[in-house]
Amino acid sequence: MVTLFVKGLLYGSLIAFVNLVEPGIRLLRVPLGTAPLQLVSVIFSFVVTCIIIFILQISQIIGGRTLRDWILGRYHRPRPEERFFLFVDIVGSTTLAERLGPGGVHQFLNRVFTLASDPIDDQRGEIYQYVGDEMVITWTEAAGRREGRPIQCFAAIETALDAAAGDFVRDFGFAPRVRGALHGGPVIVGEVGGRKRDIVFHGDVMNTTSRLEQVARDLDRQLVVSADALRRLADADQYALEDLGAHRLRGRSGPVQIYAVAGPAI
């Protein structure tokens, strides 16, 4: 209903603007009385509306923030940023892929990722990429710090999937569960590639988050968080944390202190 209202308001305002101001007539410098003015206005309305819809569709494919950053050239030159990264993968998806086949698992993953979209948007996260059965979600430190948004995002994704569990069991015979790892720190952000360009993140934070996800898998925890990420989060004390100790992660010279999020603090 919100989408319908917003689109109706935007499109209606555009059409009303065209009919009242007649920008098509002014832009094309059509003298009054020499052309069917209403036809020109309608054609102009359709062209502008199609352009707007095209931009909206492209922004859905590559992400609104990514499109904005490309247009503004924000990352044309690499720049350092402090960011949170939340890796979320689906438990047991490999076995499910063998049972459902490529088409079935695609439908399954698409439904999971679609349900996760609203919680990510609500918590001001950005979907960096989908990798197989995994989502990589990121926040700038300023955006993610408030109210422990990355942890809230993971909890909201779990809630959305739990609410749809019955539909998943009916359609796929399997209710999805997710597992996550959260870390934060400095990265370099910039455009890479030639014919196909993309905005990517480079730094130890990405590798460490991936290793933390393996720790969550090995210790059978739903969400693990590094001490570095916790220090950067506001209101982290609202969650019950299980101290998992310091772990040596592959590729890291020193140990990383890790906690499991057990739920809201009582």
Give yes or no: residues 98 and 52 share one domain: no
The predicted structure's pLDDT at residue 13: 77
Give yes or no: residues 29 and 104 share one domain: no
Give yes or no: residues 152 and 242 share one domain: yes
Domain boundary among 35, 62, 89: 62
Q: Indicate the number of domains in the chain.
A: 2
Whichever domain contains 154, its CATH number is: 3.30.70.1230
Q: pLDDT by residue (tens digit) across 239-259?
A: 888 999 988 888 777 889 999
Tell me the whole-structure pTM to 2 decimals.
0.77
3-class SS string, the chain: CHHHHHHHHHHHHHHHHHHHHCHHHHHHCCCCCCCCHHHHHHHHHHHHHHHHHHHHHHHHHHCHHHHHHHHHCCCCCCEEEEEEEEEEEECCHHHHHHHHHHHHHHHHHHHHHHHHHHHHHHCCCEEEEEECCEEEEEEEHHHHHHHHHHHHHHHHHHHHHHHCHHHHHHHHCCCCCEEEEEEEEEEEEEEECCCCCEEEEECHHHHHHHHHHHHHHHCCCCEEEEHHHHHHCCCHHHEEEEEEEEECCCCCCCCEEEEEEEEECC
Q: pLDDT by residue (tens digit) across 115-172?
A: 999 999 999 999 998 988 899 999 999 999 988 999 999 999 999 999 999 999 999 8
Q: Which domain holds residue 230?
A: 69-264
Give yes or no: residues 111 and 239 share one domain: yes
Euclidean distance between CA atoms 220 and 7, whole angstroms: 44
Please enumerate in sequence order all residues whose Cβ is within 8 A of that of 67, keeping only pairs 6 or more positions apart, or say none: 55, 58, 59
Domain boundary among 33, 62, 91: 62
Give yes or no: residues 222 and 136 share one domain: yes
Give yes or no: residues 156 and 175 share one domain: yes
Give yes or no: residues 169 and 222 share one domain: yes
Give yes or no: residues 40 and 110 share one domain: no
The predicted structure's pLDDT at residue 193: 78
Give yes or no: residues 29 and 81 share one domain: no
Give yes or no: residues 73 and 6 share one domain: no
The predicted structure's pLDDT at residue 266: 44
Indicate the pairing of strand 223-226 with strand 178-192. parallel
Mean pLDDT, 10 residues at a time, the chain of 266 residues: 70 73 68 59 72 75 69 80 94 79 90 94 91 92 91 94 94 91 93 79 91 91 93 84 88 85 65
Domain boundary among 10, 28, 62: 62
The predicted structure's pLDDT at residue 250: 81
Give yes or no: residues 44 and 74 share one domain: no
Nearest to 68 by CA among 55, 80, 79, 83: 55
Give yes or no: residues 114 and 237 share one domain: yes
